[in-house]
Structure 1
Amino acid sequence: MSSINVDVLIVGSGPTGLVTALTLAQNGVSVRIIEKLPYFPKGQRGSGVMPRTLEVYQFLGCLEDVKTVGIPPVEYLQWADGKPVQTIPVMVYEEPTPGIPERNYWLLGQDAACRILRDHLKMYGIEVEVATELVSLDQTEELVVGRVVKNTPDEEVEEEVTAKYIVGADGAKGAVRKLLGLTFPGETRDAVRILIGDIEAWGLDHRHWHKFGDAPQDGFMLRPSDRGNENIFFLACFGPNLDYARALVDHDYLREFMYKLSHLPDLKLGKVESVGDYRPNIRVANSFRKGRAFIAGDAAHVHSVTGGQGMNSSIMDAFNLGWKLALACKGVASPILLDTYNTERLPVIKEMLERTTAILNKTYAKEKSAKSSPWLRPTQLKQLGVHYRWSPIVFDEQVDQLGANAKVKAQQEMASTYVVEEGDRMHAGDRAPDAPGLIDIKSEDARRLFEIYRPEYHTVLLFAAGNDATINAALAVLGRYPKGLVRSVVVRPQGSTAPAKGADLVLQDKEGYAYSEYGMKQDSVGVAVVRPDGIVGALVGGALGIQKYFSGIFSG
């Protein structure tokens, strides 16, 4: 049998592959990332960073870098006859709350996002191997063997890579899905065409997403980018009178088309850095796993750009898969854990396709509703309500103890994978909320939960006023699990500073946000288990519930 020379081989170096790699690297798992292209592409594709993705960047330690380079939300500015006539929010602005510190999207070009992720990977000694292509793939029950070819100016160097697992993050046209024989059913909307790219522009402010005309008629849009100091805007141009084939090669024609639509003498258009002919593909693979091989991001699903869900959904794929692969590589994962990547993500992606396709249809409708603009995106697309309540590895004692009629109601609460009703109690499978205003009882330092959550371990929050038998029993159970993979945090209510022997961390909820956000009562005991991907894995009362939850996570 071939010897394994890396834990995980990742094919593709976009955000999906890089987030997968960074999650694994932070778990101490060895990774190789190969990229077919000989360079890192430039461009503003996938620039809408939704709040849930910002939270992932927080957990990975990248958020400060993302916000330093990126730009905060902008509004559409509609122009007509050379004059601004209306502003339209891209999404309704929402004020941050203690539980949701990131409630609004940011803009960051995919090239800049990937550069930040690559820089963080370098801290772990990992660099992308460019001009390296996967050409064949075989697997057994114990390993995968990929044959890769490194293309240099002088020669092709062939290598056999043996890994425990492989992740295909190589896009819709990539090799991994095809080599696995997974199908990719769906449709291509050839009737909807948009030229997208990056262009120099002067005469427009960098505070708005400038919109001239409207689909399905002639129009174009210029969105400011993180390269504002270079006057680079993201371009989208469309319409029945646009000669797409000519515009791709004759940039003078493209600029003239835009000038005629703008009626704006101050607008000056410069170099077209990149331009491509985009047509919406709406497809999802029949499965995201085959044996020891996985696909994620565009390799697993593609959809309309309307709604800004592509890059964000891809990062959610990567973060969901990464921690599970890490436990599998360490030999401590339960037999069902890796299967839940497909079980959890596939229903979310199918609903995402439905939502983005509906927005596409609304945007390109010949007759638009006067009551609502198709350009105002629903807040559900921020992905803060995406959940896995149906997952076989989440455990909610309140749901488990319900009678038959109540369980029907619980099933109804899972009808959407994207929406958590306002005011609904938190369920296992939901996004774990933040809570500031915590005090470390030992050091007296101020803390917040999002600083504690990490992709390397589960965080078990034990809510209790004192050291009663329930907490002691729970801490004893937690001590049985693999060292470093579970962290215990005792959360005391506002009036208590009691220590807790055996806990990794003891906090006082001085402001009361943690108890409130997690639905806990000040005078009772409760446990919330937060997964490495920031999802509430379990809501239970004590040791038995903890054991039941981790029986689906760890082997043995």
Structure 2
Amino acid sequence: MDADVLVVGAGPSGLALGVDLARRGVDVLVAERGAGLAPGSRGKGIQPRTMEVFDDLGVMDAIRAAGGAYPLGAVWQDGAIVTRRPMFDPSEEDESSPYADPWMVPQWRTQQILLARLEELGGRVSFGREVTGLAQDADAVTVRLADGGELRARYAVGADGGRSAVRGALGVGMAGETVDPQPLLVADVRISGLDREHWHIFPPAGDTGFMVACPLAGTDDFQLVAQFAEGTEVDLSLDGVRTLVAARSHLAAGDVTALSWASDFRPRAALADRFRDGRVFLVGDAAHVHSPAGGQGLNTSVQDAYNLGWKLGAVLRGGAPKALLDTYEEERRPVAADMLGLSTRIHRGEARRGAATRQLGLGYPVSSLTTETRPTPGPLRAGDRAPDALVSGTRLLDAFRGPHWTLLTTGEDAPPPYGPGVFLVRPDGYVGWAGPTEDGLTAYTAKVGSPEPVRVPAAR
């Protein structure tokens, strides 16, 4: 075996999965087709729920240092700002998470941070390894490479994007729809003449599509996004971007001083027919593609990895039954389907960026891993994300941090988000089991390998 788990693709989901597995003592190898990490700002918005995940994975301090808050949107018309508005609906006062609002970090920087953490934990990334096919047997997966070599692992994970070679090798279909036939350009550029305190919005005019320029926190660049008429061949060159900016704003072509990365695409929403085939799993864009509106893609992808990581770790290192791995698709595919719908509605102007996009309300209420035994549940139910709170002097997100399960008992004076009960919190921060007492808890833990949870001092 070359590894316990082979992850194909060194994007955010592949690297996050690598980090989660490495901290569990799983031998993980990430194979990336490119010669290095992919460039470009791409998914730049990190939602509060993903910030909690990054906190647990040990990278949140670096993410904080690398980025910044979203600026106000400034709408331009005839060379002047005519209005300013927040890019997201304001968050409500909520002590259930230390992270209330999205944080902006260019995707290339997020990948660097995750790679550094993976290597710190002893994980490995092998660049220049293009996958061309795979085969499975009863014990392992053999992945074929373009250079004629092979890699063999007990499990493999396709985290290799919307054109996933792993998904193609499995023959897994991907059904979906075109969200918008008008192509989009996205590029990382240097621009003079725009302040860095606003997200600069240039609305459509006539047959000309919109253009926005967002300052990328922690850099001197802007992310430029522009919409074109259906059938347009988008020019990705520096001269093409300069012509675009001069035509759609008050800026001159020469105000665009550098172009470091550019891409074009047509927004589409599609969902893989299945997220698992035997010993192979799909995460991130390999499993779902979508409009970037709402900033859901990178976040849903990282959370795919976070769901799968503890389950692979439990099977490979914790003695859990292999059936536990069936719950990955069961739990994540419905979440991805809902995300596709939300992103499409936001793209079409039918929904706003608000509480749903922060992803703190996501959960697994109907999962086979969810057991609620209290006759009258309180505000927190099995399947919900376990919120932060102060219990007997312990901050719960601090108690949850790490690859373990956590057992929390609360009484009548329990924090308002919880209510009274006994809560077994999964390694990914969701309540797996809840009951009035610990009766029945042992039967539940047997399904997941009988972990010994960390106990939080009881709140009475």
TM-score using structure 2 length: 0.92
Contact 1:27–1:455 (Cα < 8 Å) also in 2: no
Cα distance change of structure 1 residues 45 and 253 upon mapping to structure 2, 3 Å threshold: closer
**Distance between the aligned counterparts of 2:273 and 2:320, measured in 1?**
24
Using the alignment, how far apart are the partners of 2:299 and 2:228 within structure 1? Answer: 28
**How far has the Cα of 1:542 moved from its partner?**
2.3
Matched, 1:457 2:457: no
SS at match of 1:248: coil
**Alpha-carbon distance in structure 2 between the residues aligned to 1:197 and 1:265:** 17
Q: Percent identity?
A: 36
Question: SS at 1:516's partner residue?
Answer: coil
- 1:313 matches 2:300: yes
Inter-CA distance 265–85: structure 2 relative to 1 (3 Å threshold): farther
Deviation of 1:167 after TM superposition, in Å, equals 0.6
Instruction: Report Cα offsets for 1:269-306 as digits up to 9, x if no partner.
Output: 21122221110121111110011110000000001111
Does the aligned pair in 1 maintain the 2:424–2:432 contact within 8 Å? yes
Matched-pair contact (CA < 8 Å) for 1:453–1:532 = yes
1:31-70 CA deviation, whole Å, 9 max, x = no partner?
0000001122221110010000000011111111100011
What's the counterpart of residue 119 of structure 1?
A: 116
Does the Cα contact within 8 Å between 1:429 and 1:537 map onto a contact in 2?
yes
Shift in Å, 1:128: 1.4
Q: 1:142 pairs with 139, 151, 165, which one?
A: 139
Mapped to 2, the partners of 1:45 and 1:246 lie a distance apart of 17
Aligned residue number for residue 501 of structure 1: none
The aligned amino acid for 2:425 is V
1:190 positional shift? 6.2
- Other structure's SS at 2:353 match: coil
Specify the alignment match of 1:40 in structure 2.
37
Unaligned runs of 5+ in 1: 150-155, 364-373, 403-409, 411-423, 440-446, 465-492, 494-511, 521-525
Query: Taking structure 1 as reference, are residues 429 and 267 closer, same or farther at Cα in structure 2, changes over 3 Å only?
Result: farther
| Equivalent in the alignment of 1:381 | 357
CA shift, 1:123, in A, is 1.1
What pairs with 1:460-475 in structure 2 (closer than 5 Å)? 460-463=407-410
Contact 2:187 2:263 in 1 (8 A): yes
Q: Say if 1:54 and 1:331 are closer, same or farther in 2 by CA, change over 3 A.
A: closer
Letter in 1 for 2:161: G
Partner-residue secondary structure (3-state), 1:29: coil
Q: For the residues of structure 2 that align with 1:548 and 1:274, how far apart are their CA atoms?
A: 53
Report matched runs for 1:43-62 at 5 Å. 43-62=40-59
| 2:223 corresponds to 1:234 | yes
Q: What CA distance in whole angstroms lies between the structure 2 residues aligned with 1:459 and 1:331?
A: 15
SS of 1:91's equivalent in the other structure is coil
Residue-by-residue CA offset, 1:249-281 (whole Å, 9 max, x unaligned): 3x3243233223222579922112222111012
Preserved CA contact (<8 Å) 1:282 1:303 = yes
Whole-angstrom distance in 1 between the partners of 2:92 and 2:175: 40
The answer for the alignment partner of 1:219 in structure 2 is 210
**Residue 147 (structure 1) shift:** 2.5
Within 2, Cα distance between the matches of 1:253 and 1:138? Answer: 44
- 1:110 and 1:78 mapped to 2: Cα distance? 25
Distance 2:185 2:103 in 1: 23
Match of 1:65 among 62, 67, 91: 62
Which of 427, 441, 450 is the matching residue for 1:532?
427
- The CA deviation string for residues 337-387 of structure 1, in whole angstroms up to 9 with x for no partner, is 111100001111111111111222227xxxxxxxxxx6x413211101111
Q: What's 1:248 paired with?
A: 236
Q: Which residue of 1 aligns with 2:418?
A: 518
Q: Which has the higher contact order (CA 8 A, sep 6+)?
A: 2
Give the distance between the partners of 1:78 and 1:269, measured in 2 at CA. Answer: 19
CA contact (8 A) 1:222 1:235 kept: yes
Letter matched to residue 388 of structure 1: Y
* Further displaced range: 302-311 or 545-554: 545-554
**TM-score scaled by structure 1?**
0.76
In structure 2, stretches of 5+ residues that fail to align are 452-460
Alpha-carbon distance, 1:312 to partner: 0.5
| Matching residue of 1:287 | 274
Q: Structure 1 residue 129 and structure 2 residue 24: aligned? A: no
8 Å Cα contact 2:293-2:347 kept in structure 1: yes
Q: How does 1:282-361 map to 2 (within 5 A)?
A: 282-330=269-317, 332-361=319-348
Cα distance change, pair 137–331 in 1 and its aligned pair in 2 (3 A):
farther
Q: 1:554 aligns with which of 449, 454, 458?
A: 449
User: Structure 1 pair 79/335, CA: closer, same or farther in 2 (3 Å)?
Assistant: same
1:84 lines up with 2:81 in the alignment? yes
Displacement of 1:175 in angstroms is 1.1
Distance 1:253 1:288, change over 3 A: closer
Counterpart of 2:355 in structure 1: which amino acid?
A: T
Which 4+ residue blocks in structure 1 deviate beyond 4 angstroms?
264-267
SS at match of 1:222: strand
SS at match of 1:117: helix
Give the whole-Å Cα distance in 2 for the aligned partners of 1:379 and 1:75.
18
RMSD: 2.4
- Aligned residue for 2:68, secondary structure, equals coil
Structure 1 residues 77, 335: CA separation in 2 closer, same or farther (over 3 Å shift)? same
Mapped contact 2:391–2:415 kept (Cα < 8 A):
no
- In 2, distance between residues paired with 1:221 and 1:62? 30
Provide closer, same or farther for how the CA distance between residues 246 and 541 of structure 1 changes in structure 2, counting only shifts above 3 A: closer
The residue type equivalent to 1:303 in the other structure is H
**2:22 counterpart (16, 25, 28):** 25
Q: What are the residue-to-residue correspondences of 1:132-281 with 2, within 5 Å?
A: 132-149=129-146, 156=147, 158-189=148-179, 191-214=181-204, 217-228=208-219, 231-240=220-229, 244-245=232-233, 247-249=235-237, 251-264=238-251, 268-281=255-268
Q: Distance in 1 between the 2:139 and 2:244 partners?
A: 58
CA distance in 1, matches of 2:396, 2:403: 15
Which residue does 1:435 correspond to in 2?
389
The structure with the largest alpha-carbon Rg is 1
Structure 2 counterpart of 1:461, one-letter code: L
Is the partner of 1:341 in helix, strand or coil? helix
How far off its partner does 1:548 sit? 3.3
> Relative to structure 1, is the Cα distance of residues 38 and 264 closer, same or farther in structure 2, using a 3 angstrom cutoff?
closer
